[in-house]
Amino acid sequence: MTEQPLRVGLIGAGGNMRERHMPGFRAIPGVEVVTVANRTPESSQAFAEEWNIPRIAENWGAVIDDEQVDAVCIGTWPYMHAPITIAALEAGKHVLCEARMALNSVEAHRMLDVARAHPGQVAQIVPAPLTFAFDPTVMEMIAAGEIGEVIAVDARIAAGSAFPDQDSPAHWRHDRTLSGNNIMSMGIWYESLIRWVGPARTVQAVGQAVVNHRRNAQGRRVAMTIPDYVDITGELEQGGQLRMCVTTVAGHAPAPVDILVYGTRGTLQLYQPPGGAMELLAGRKGEQSLKPVPIDPAKRGDWRVEQDFVDAIRTGTPVTLTDFATGVHYMEWTDAVTQSLRGAGRVSLPLR
């Protein structure tokens, strides 16, 4: 029996839709992208012509109302994730929503509640992909006790960082009304760390907007309320501590990515040298240094977000990367960071 086509509607047509989602959907037999709605009819039409999508929609609501659409892929900025996701689920559509999940954990909880009220629909958040290649190996090593009990995770993230530029333009990620409590790539890296060592149970943070104003599209000077340098500490639920520094304004940072997991019997390091590729290293008690860990090709994770989404719809395979419950947790952690930055001191999780 021939499987019924799965018809997908796109809401938002930015870089990730072009670079990731469209190629991903196109590679799956029986999946058809049938409509797209971007911010303007002109940009929608240009994207549709580029990818040979048969029609465009006037707005995101029209995609959801379209009876020829079975599933929606949401690629908007975070401020629209909750309203579109909720409307789509209530209209009987499956949802693949771009990260970060929402503006804040209040919205994320609403999304989760609606998803649970509609168990027949698949609800998935696009997962943080930066550690895909290493996740299975790291998780296996930690679970097998190869480094013993986790003492601490020390993550220093300066990818794309450079000396502060007071003339740099405002980006939507600098606008709290569009991005919410999400800060730089902080949530992406925390989501990856959850896979390795589980969630945090406390948060304490300090941060600053070193570039304290930027020019918007109209040339007006706009105050920056989202930090570009933040230090976060906390306790892990399974025991041990977390320290994370994320910045985009550190000149001559020694490495774009340097994450150490210290254990009672060994240490793991995910390291990216300047201009180079990330690699995993490990050293055990009694050894003199960290050494590269060969990654078994069979265990090397890769981007398969669209395939996982389609498999969940067609076969009922549970969503793991990333389900809404995980999304709610990282949004609560994100909110806890913001609360601490605003003077709340040490914040305990979960928030409710």
Angstrom distance (rounded) from CA 132 to CA 214:
34
pLDDT surpassing 90 at residue 186: yes
Average pLDDT for residues 289-308, to the nearest whole number? 96
Average pLDDT for residues 152-171, to the nearest whole number? 94
Q: Give the tens place of pLDDT for each residue, 209-253.
A: 999 999 988 889 999 999 999 999 999 999 999 999 999 999 999
Backbone angles phi, psi at 82, to 5 degrees: -65, -55
Q: Give the tens place of pLDDT for each residue, 326-342.
A: 999 999 999 999 999 99
Task: Specify the pLDDT at position 216.
Answer: 87
Residue 294 neighbours by CB under 8 Å, 6+ apart: none
Kindly state the tokens that stand for 341: 């930055």
Average pLDDT for residues 98-120, to the nearest whole number? 98
Task: Specify the pLDDT at position 326.
Answer: 97
The verdict on whether omega for the bond into residue 322 sits within 30 degrees of 0, i.e. cis, is: yes
Question: Is the dihedral angle over the CA atoms 314, 57, 89, 126 positive or is it negative?
Answer: positive
What does pLDDT average to over the chain? 96
Task: Specify the pLDDT at position 8.
Answer: 98
CATH of domain 6-127+304-322: 3.40.50.720
Please report, as a single letter, which amino acid is at residue 165: D
Average pLDDT for residues 10-15, to the nearest whole number? 96
Residue 242 neighbours by CB under 8 Å, 6+ apart: 152, 153, 155, 193, 197, 200, 232, 233, 234, 235, 236
Please report, as a single letter, which amino acid is at residue 122: V
Diameter of the chain measured on Cα atoms: 65
- For the chain, domain boundaries: 6-127+304-322, 135-301
Q: Give the tens place of pLDDT for each residue, 267-283.
A: 999 999 999 999 999 99
Angstrom distance (rounded) from CA 132 to CA 71:
25
Task: Specify the pLDDT at position 84.
Answer: 98
What percent of the chain is modeled with pLDDT above 90?
96
Average pLDDT for residues 295-304, to the nearest whole number? 95
Angstrom distance (rounded) from CA 334 to CA 91:
29
Angstrom distance (rounded) from CA 17 to CA 205:
33
As a three-state string, the secondary structure of the chain is CCCCCEEEEEECCCHHHHHHHHHHHHCCCCEEEEEEECCCHHHHHHHHHHHCCCEECCCHHHHHHCCCCCEEEECCCHHHHHHHHHHHHHCCCEEEECCCCCCCHHHHHHHHHHHHHCCCCCEEECCCCCCCCCHHHHHHHHHCCCCCCEEEEEEEECCCCCCCCCCCECCHHHCHHHHCCCCCCHHHHHHHHHHHHCCECEEEEEEECCCCEEECCCCCEEECCCCCEEEEEEEECCCCEEEEEEECCCCCCCCCEEEEEEECCEEEEEEECCCCCCEEEEEECCCCCCEECCCCHHHCCCCCHHHHHHHHHHHCCCCCCCEHHHHHHHHHHHHHHHHHHHHHCCEECCCC
Question: The whole model's pTM is what?
Answer: 0.95
Task: Specify the pLDDT at position 167.
Answer: 87
Task: Specify the pLDDT at position 2.
Answer: 47
How many Cβ atoms from other residues are within 10 Å of residue 67's Cβ?
8
Name the band, by pLDDT with cuts 50, 70 and 90, for residue 1: very low
pLDDT surpassing 90 at residue 66: yes
pLDDT surpassing 80 at residue 3: no
Class level of CATH domain 135-301:
alpha beta
190-193-194-195 Cα dihedral, nearest 10 degrees: 140
Angstrom distance (rounded) from CA 153 to CA 138:
13
Output the CA–CA distances (angstroms, integers) from residue 266 to 94, 152, 262, 281, in the order listed: 43, 11, 7, 11
Q: Give the tens place of pLDDT for each residue, 46-61.
A: 999 999 999 999 999 9
